A = this chain, B = another copy of it.
């Protein structure tokens, strides 16, 4: 069975070169993929040439307009008609592609996916999920910024959808769902948190109650739900802190071993080890963030994505499509 994926070749800080190279990587690894590279035709074809691609499982679809990373999403979609994001999402709507991958403007991807692909029938708001790979379990945090005006029913739907993602894509059995809050007691937090907490009690998820910020990284709860304002800040705090701490740590180590006789050897051993730790905390390694709640498989990758990150994103999009995740979510949400 071939799975078709529409890729925004113009999305991200390093597009189109790294996006095209990522698509080529994925196409070489998985012969059962059919990839649409959507973007400025000449640029995309030039990059394919540079990557020495000769196969027929990559198809170039022309879209001459590009929405920039800093553009206002809704305005850009209205004014820049026929953008790569629009054309790619329309391929999903038309059924020609089962999935959409972009490292471009997040807001524009969310808006285009909602508008052109469409939301699942029962879904009120789509949500962006990211996965943290803790020592114990992968933890799915939702929403990290699709929706900054969340209502309690949105949060409950996020919990339902992310539970399915966690189970079917990440392999977590009966994932435990926690509501991110300022304390564990039931009556804690904002009005949104309190009402969400009581709605979650009767939701068909494995709800374990409120959790605090530090609990995200324990791995004991595998789905963490919050509104998009809080989630976006949590994601960026985590990225920023991890980066700074790793910088500090390597500087500290460098100084500590400088006077030891075999400092070069030690340095190399530690560099290798730290590289693997860095990978573990770099979520772009894992292929980007699924947008849950739309009628298709959508992955929004980090703006800084390189070819490998894009190829990983395509891999996750493929698994979401192969599992027909959107339909499963639709079923669960409708009986709810």
User: A: which residues have CB within 8 A of B?
Assistant: 72, 134-135, 145, 148-149, 180, 182, 185, 189-191, 193, 212-218, 226, 228-230, 232-246, 248-249, 252-253, 255-257, 259-262, 265-266, 269-270, 272-274, 276-277, 280-281
Contacts and interface: CB of A to CB of B under 8 A. Distances in A.
A145 B253 CA distance: 35
18 contacts: A145-B182, A148-B189, A182-B232, A182-B233, A189-B229, A213-B235, A213-B239, A213-B240, A214-B236, A214-B237, A217-B243, A226-B233, A229-B230, A245-B245, A252-B273, A260-B265, A261-B262, A266-B266
| Prevailing SS type, chain A contact patch | helix
A227 to B, nearest CB: 9
Contacts of A212: 232-233, 236
B266 A252 contact: no
A233 B270 contact: no
A62 to B, nearest CB: 31
A274 to B, nearest CB: 7
A257 B245 contact: no
B253 A239 contact: no
State the 5 A-B residue pairs at the shortest beta-carbon distance, nearest first. A214-B240, A213-B236, A256-B273, A213-B237, A182-B232
B262 A190 contact: no
Copies assembled: 2
A233 B178 CA distance: 14
Contacts of A246: 245
Contacts of A256: 269-270, 272-273
Contact of A249 (B229, B235, B277): B277
Given A182-B228, A182-B233, A239 B252 contact: no
A215 to B, nearest CB: 7
A272 to B, nearest CB: 7
B248 A249 contact: no
A239 B280 CA distance: 19
Contact of A255 (B182, B185, B255, B273): B273
Given A182-B228, A217-B240, A260-B266, 10 more contacts: A182-B229, A213-B235, A214-B236, A214-B239, A216-B240, A217-B243, A217-B244, A226-B233, A249-B249, A260-B262
Pick from A134, A149, A190, A274 the residue with the most CB of B within 10 Å: A190
A244 B135 contact: yes
A145 B190 CA distance: 11
B252 A274 contact: yes
Contacts of A257: 266, 269-270
